[in-house]
Structure 1
Amino acid sequence: MNRYQKAQKVATYGVLGNLFLLIIKLWAGLAFHSQAMLADGINSLGDVFASSMTFLGNKVASRPQDEDHPFGHGKAEYIFSFLIAIAMLAVAARTLYSSFMSIIEGNTIVFSPFLVVVCAATILVKSCLYVYAKRAASQENNLLILANAQDHRNDVFVTLGTLLGIAGSSLGWNFLDGAVGIAISLWIAYTGVVIFIKAYRVLMDTGLGETTYRRIADIVSAVDGVDHIDSIEAKPVGFQYILFVKVSVDGEMSVNQSHAIAATIRYSLKELGDVSDVMVHINPC
């Protein structure tokens, strides 16, 4: 099973698990007037959408290079991530409004042990999804799977907050339910912003970070025959990137010798797992 097939499997489990949680959370929230549970349910709706977009985005990204896409379809992961981020921000805004209104209008919860059961089921399902996705992300070095794993982990903490709101309301602290709903909304918004920034950086071809640049520069400098590095640039193509390396060598060496140096640089850098291809340009020193 390759990295794309593993991502499809993770996304499928995510859709099924989140769909199950969505149904029971929304029913419980409406039945017992819990804004925290409704907020958690809407968060699960966002999770269903996110897992669906992950499935579709990964399917597109797995397509090989073709005449219209010589660098492949890897950026599809980030285009779909961009859509997920916008949807999450919209969900956060709607939930935030509902939670504020719950506090202002003084809504009360009809407490039921079933609310606690729903929270416990959510924590169990999400913990299992997190462990599975985290293991898959480590095995495949797949950033999209890792993002799904982190989303499942975050939901465990969000549901713990929902449980706190329900417990507080059962003691007569009805404002706590709306307050937890606000906290969940802010958490959803924060997650959306993080995804938005990551997608934006790739789609806008943001350059290499200092640590990555230094790692690449050390490899290039160690190649015998390289006098100095002129420039190192990168073009993100999904979870990997194409490197454009310019180096200077002895101007008196033969073309064959300079090409051998370029080949050594290329193959050395392609050993890095996050490098798709390397273009090397040789300048005379």
Structure 2
Amino acid sequence: MRKPNHFYYPIGKNRMQPVRELKMNHEQEMWMIGIMVAVTAVKFILMVYCRRFKNEIVRAYAQDHLFDVVTNSVGLQLQFLQFDFTGGLINWSYNIQSSYSKRIGPYLIALYTISTWARTVIENVWSLIGRTAPPEFLAKLTYLIWNHHEEIQHIDTVRAYTLGSHYFAEVDIVLPEDMPLNQAHNIGETLQEKLEQLPEVERAFVHIDFEFTHRPEHKTKV
């Protein structure tokens, strides 16, 4: 307000005065605290409820509710420090204006926010960029493929990579060259259905070949 700028604020900055001097009386403070406590309690109940589900989207809601519970609780504690309740449950002998809580509280909330959502971003980035599945899961797929049908002569390729919260699987198997088309199709289709029954697999693709000495048909795009 002490530095006017008529280009950005043609009528001056006096309208910032009510914002800068916003204060509440004791009754308004109690209403504010009651609302914050109620919202935090509801968020906590929703967090517990959403954690009961295995769906990734619902569990993301649980994480969001947990974040709100933590930040609201910290903000509520800082607000308690600011008040002097003579007849209430808390009676602080000093004012928050002269304590370090008001200074470090927002920074603590900001650091918690940054760290929490940074971890979330990293987790989601790994799930979107097509990162390979762990070796144990690839070994599980290989075992299922090899024991799927006695006519499978060779497993050429087994891939599984992230695409969202689940995996896409790509499989190349070798069947006898003289096998009838309908039989080869049935083997490939049933194998696809078996792989897609795994809870980790979103979609499976099965490619059938009669030999495995050729170069890969699909090259990686640069």
The match for 1:160 is 73
Give the 3 Å change call, closer, same or farther, for CA 266–180 of structure 1 in structure 2.
Answer: same
The match for 1:194 is 119
The match for 2:192 is 266
**1:244 partnered with 2:161:** no
Deviation larger for 211-220 or 185-194: 211-220
- Cα-to-partner distance string for 1:106-139 (whole Å, 9 max, x where unaligned): xxxxx9444532331122121232244334xx2x
Q: TM-score, normalised by structure 2?
A: 0.63
Deviation larger for 190-199 or 254-263: 254-263
- Cα-to-partner distance string for 1:207-236 (whole Å, 9 max, x where unaligned): 223343333333223212334433222465
Deviation larger for 215-224 or 182-191: 215-224
Distance of 1:159 and 1:211 partners within structure 2: 41
The match for 1:231 is 157
Give the 3 Å change call, closer, same or farther, for CA 162–210 of structure 1 in structure 2.
Answer: farther
Deviation larger for 147-156 or 231-240: 231-240
The answer on whether the counterparts of 1:169 and 1:176 sit within 8 Å (CA) in structure 2 is no
Q: Unmatched 5+ residue regions in structure 1?
A: 1-26, 33-110
The match for 2:37 is 120
The answer on whether the counterparts of 1:166 and 1:177 sit within 8 Å (CA) in structure 2 is no
The match for 1:22 is none
Distance of 1:163 and 1:209 partners within structure 2: 43
Give the 3 Å change call, closer, same or farther, for CA 117–176 of structure 1 in structure 2.
Answer: same
Q: Unmatched 5+ residue regions in structure 2?
A: 1-18, 84-91, 213-222
The match for 1:36 is none
Structure label with greater radius of gyration: 2
Higher helix share: 1
Distance of 1:177 and 1:218 partners within structure 2: 59
Query: Post-superposition shift, 1:185?
Result: 0.9
Give the 3 Å change call, closer, same or farther, for CA 231–178 of structure 1 in structure 2.
Answer: farther
Aligned length: 175
Give the 3 Å change call, closer, same or farther, for CA 223–188 of structure 1 in structure 2.
Answer: same
1:42-191 correspondence to structure 2 within 5 Å: 112-135=29-52, 138=53, 141-170=54-83, 171=92, 172=94, 174-191=99-116
The alignment-based identity, stated in percent, is 23
The match for 2:15 is none
Distance of 1:114 and 1:266 partners within structure 2: 60
The match for 2:9 is none
